[in-house]
Amino acid sequence: MDRIALFDLDGTLLDSAPDLHSALDRLMARHDRPGFSREEVWRMIGDGVTVLVQRACAARNLAFSPELVADFMADYEAHAADETRPFPGIPEVLAALRAEGWRLAVCTNKPEKAARIILDDLGLSPLLDGIGGGDSFPVRKPHPGHPLGLLARMGGEASQSVLIGDHQNDTRAAKAAGIAAIFAAWGYGQPEMAEGAPVASAPGDLPGLLAGLRLG
C-alpha cells in the first residue's frame, strides 16, 4: 500500500493570503466598506470561502447573502494566482517526496475549482495525485470525512497516510480520521493549533519528519 501525504493548500503549500485579501477588499469596496489588515485576513482563512465572506461581512457590518459569495468567487477565480505563490522550498519538497515513493494530494477547504485553477497556474498539478476541495465531499475539514473521502478516491488507507496543515481544522480532521498529522508552522495558524502534532517550522523539515513517522 502506497504512503500518501495529504497537504492543506492555503497557508501550507501556498501563500495565498495576498489574493484572498485583495479580493475581499474589492468586495468590501463595492459595498462602501473599508478593507482589512493582513492579520485580520489571516484569522478569517481556514473554513472555506463562505465562512470567509461571512466573517468579513460580520466585521464590516454588512448583511451576508449567498450572492456575496458568488460575487467574491467570480472575482477571486480571475485573480487567484496573481500574487499567490508556493512557500519557498515547497516545489522541491514535493518533488523529493514523490521521488521517495510518496503519493501526494491536496485536501483543502477552498472550493475544488479554485484550487485546481491555482495549482494548474503555478505548475504544481503534475506533482499531485488528487485534489479534494471544501465542496468535493458532503463534509469538509475538521470533519474526518474530508480526508477519508479523498483517500478512498485514491485507493489509500488512513494508517498509511499523513495530513500536513497550518490550522486546527487540519490537525483535528487528521486525528478524527486516524491519520498522522504534521503542523505547518509557517502558515496562517497559531502555534496552539498544532494540538500535539509534530511541528514543521519550514517546508524543508518535512522529508525528515515524514521519514520518521511510524505508519501502519
Note whether 19 and 76 are within 8 A (CB).
yes
**Chosen from Mg ion, ligand PGA, none, partner binding at 47 (C-beta under 5 to 8 Å by type):** ligand PGA
* Cell, residue 151: 483517500
- All residues at 6 or more sequence positions from 204 whose CB lies less than 8 Å from its CB, including other chains: 89, 93
Give the Cα-Cα-Cα angle 121, 126, 128 (nearest 5 degrees). 105
10 contributes a contact to Mg ion by CB under 5 A: yes
- Looking at beta carbons only, is 10 or 205 nearer to ligand PGA? 10
Closest distance to ligand PGA from the beta carbon of 1 (Å): 26
- Looking at beta carbons only, is 47 or 83 nearer to ligand PGA? 47
Helix (H) or strand (E) segment spanning residue 6: strand 4-7
* Cell, residue 21: 485579501
15 contributes a contact to Mg ion by CB under 5 A: no
**Chosen from Mg ion, ligand PGA, none, partner binding at 157 (C-beta under 5 to 8 Å by type):** none
- Residues in contact with ligand PGA by the rule CB under 6 A: 8-11, 45-49, 52, 108-110, 167
**Chosen from Mg ion, ligand PGA, none, partner binding at 133 (C-beta under 5 to 8 Å by type):** none
Note whether 189 and 167 are within 8 A (CB).
yes
> Measured between alpha carbons, how far apart are the two ends of the chain, in Å?
10
The contact pattern for Mg ion, residues 145-184, with x = CB under 5 A and - = no contact, is ---------------------xx-----------------
Note whether 147 and 177 are within 8 A (CB).
yes
121 is catalytic: no
Closest distance to ligand PGA from the beta carbon of 106 (Å): 8
Catalytic positions: 8
